[in-house]
Every structure is written in C-alpha cells, then in structure tokens.
Structure 1
Amino acid sequence: RKSPLNLAAEHGHTGVARLLIEYGADISTSDRLGHTALNCAARAGHIDFVQFLITRGIDISARDRSGRTALHEAASAGHIKVVELLTARGINIFARDASGYTALHHAAFG
C-alpha cells in the first residue's frame, strides 16, 4: 500500500503534500518496497514536488529495498531537470543499487 504522501508525490500534488505534512505526515515514510515520496516524485518527474521535499529536509540519499535512490529513479525515467536538481544538492552520483548499477546505467537502460 502507498501512503497518501506517496500518492500525492506520484501525481505532483504539492498542495496536498503541504497539508498532509502540516497535519503530521512523516516525509520519510516508505511503502513496502522502500519507496519514499521523493522516489515517487523523482520517478514521475515532478521537479516542484522534489524541490518541496528537499526544502522540508528529506534525506535525498535514502534508498529503497533494491538500493535505488531518487537519482536512480529520475535517471531511469529520463527526467533531466530532476537529475540536475539532485546532483546540485549533492547526491552521490556514483551510488550503486543492489544490482551494482549507478544512475548512469539506469539512464542508459531507459
């Protein structure tokens, strides 16, 4: 099951996320696969949502159960602006997932 915050992230509903957090939603909550709202927003290319979460202090280096970060998700989906934002914020571009792949590998695989 996905949390309301993860669903808001997938659909880019920053206003909904703002309300959820205001009423106590934990930005670091993850689903059964370890996906946080940041993973969901990065995969969907919602740069404003990603920026919102960063300003709220989310851990940009958090990994899901397969070892993927938000950078892996954004690169895999071809969301260049999200990749640029995450790298500008200092995410480790050399981080490898559980299969040994970096974000660059995921970008190449598409």
Structure 2
Amino acid sequence: MEQKKEEEVLRLIISKAWEDINFRKSLVSDPIKAIEDLTGAKIVLPEGKTLVINDQTDKTKVYVNIPSEPNIEDIELSESELEIIAGGGQTVWPDLINSLFPALKNYIIV
C-alpha cells in the first residue's frame, strides 16, 4: 500500500474511533479485526508482533508512550550526528525526545 493510502486508512480509523464509541471499544479489544472490518485493508504484522491500541481520548490525562529501547546495532546516524558525537558535542537525545513526546514538553517546567 502506498504511503498516501496508508495515511487515509489511519485517518479513517482515528475519525471513526472518535465518532463511534462501539468501534473504539472494538478497536481496543481486537484491533486487527476492527481495522479490517472497517477498511477492508489486510493487516499483516511481522511474526511475533501484536498490535496494541490504547484509548487516549480522555482529555483530562496526558499520555506518554514508552518506546522500545532501540537496538544500537541497527541505528544509522547521519553525518552531522556522527560529527556531533565524535566532537564530544551534544547527543541526539533532544531531537529524539522532542519527536517522541511533542506534547509533553509543554508540561515540563525546569
């Protein structure tokens, strides 16, 4: 599936979950079936992986997802990131944190 179609499917899933509480419950309890029933798209996960959907619609809460720890062996740094690290400069953590938790930074006061 090309990227544009994937984005359309994701928008459809999210908007349907916002509009329809029953679909949202179904999405949380059996995400693959709910997505396939709604879109007709086939969900094929890599072996050993599962799809987890968390309902984060409660506006009284701030949600933070803890990503899996990256496999250092698989990380490829850009030339500029390598230069920064080689020169003893800043690490790539600020960019990583900002990309993973964009909303959280609005609530952190240092």
Q: What TM-score range do you get, normalising by the shorter chain?
A: under 0.3
Alignment TM-score, normalising by the size of structure 1? 0.26
TM-score w.r.t. the length of structure 2 is: 0.26
Higher-Rg member (1/2): 2
The structure with higher relative contact order (CA 8 Å, sep 6+) is 1
